[in-house]
Structure 1
Amino acid sequence: MAEPIEIQTPFIKLEQLLKLAGAFPTGGGCKEAIQSGQVQVNGAVCLLRGKKLHPGDQVTCGGHIWQVITP
């Protein structure tokens, strides 16, 4: 089951979401995971750190799943 990540803005960038979710202790860890193909957005590998995520999008990394939601 996906863990909800609530945003107050129209979108959040992929790297920011991973930091917000606590997936990695540093931004460098997020960057490395994304660039090495360890992160999926809506079921597809995403290599773009700045990928804009909108409500309804799902991110998978390291066995965790997060879903972007709004309040």
Structure 2
Amino acid sequence: MEDITIDTEEIQLDQFLKWAGVLASGGEVKALLAERRIKRNGETESARRRKLHPGDVIEIEGMGAWRVAKG
């Protein structure tokens, strides 16, 4: 699992995945959500604009896991 540092109190899921360099576009996020491959804190996620906070863990099936960290 890789820690990804943000400078704000929260960040949207799609912005986080782009910031981390995991995905290049919001369209990729939308497709993975439709395939139910993204989990937030162990639960399947359905909203690409879900607010993430430090400590949240995002997992993408077949790609890896990232933790939101406060910088």
TM over 0.5: yes
1:24 to partner: Cα distance: 2.0
1:2-61 CA-to-partner distances (Å, cap 9, x unmatched) read 101111111011111111122223221111112321100000100111111100000001
TM-score w.r.t. the length of structure 2 is 0.88
- Aligned partner of residue 55 in structure 2, secondary structure: coil
Structure 1 unaligned regions, length at least 5: none
**Identical positions, percent:** 37
| Count, aligned residues | 70
TM-score w.r.t. the length of structure 1 is 0.88
- Aligned partner of residue 48 in structure 1, secondary structure: coil
1:21-60 alignment runs, 5 A limit: 21-60=20-59
RMSD after superposition: 1.1
Which segments of structure 1 move beyond 6 Å, counting only runs of 4 or more?
Answer: none
Matched with 2:65 is: 65
Structure 2 unaligned regions, length at least 5: none
Q: Is the 8 A contact 1:19 1:30 kept in 2?
A: no
- Aligned partner of residue 60 in structure 1, secondary structure: strand
- Aligned partner of residue 22 in structure 1, secondary structure: coil
- Aligned partners of 1:8, 1:25: CA distance in 2, in Å? 20
Question: Which residue identity does 1:15 align to in structure 2?
Answer: D
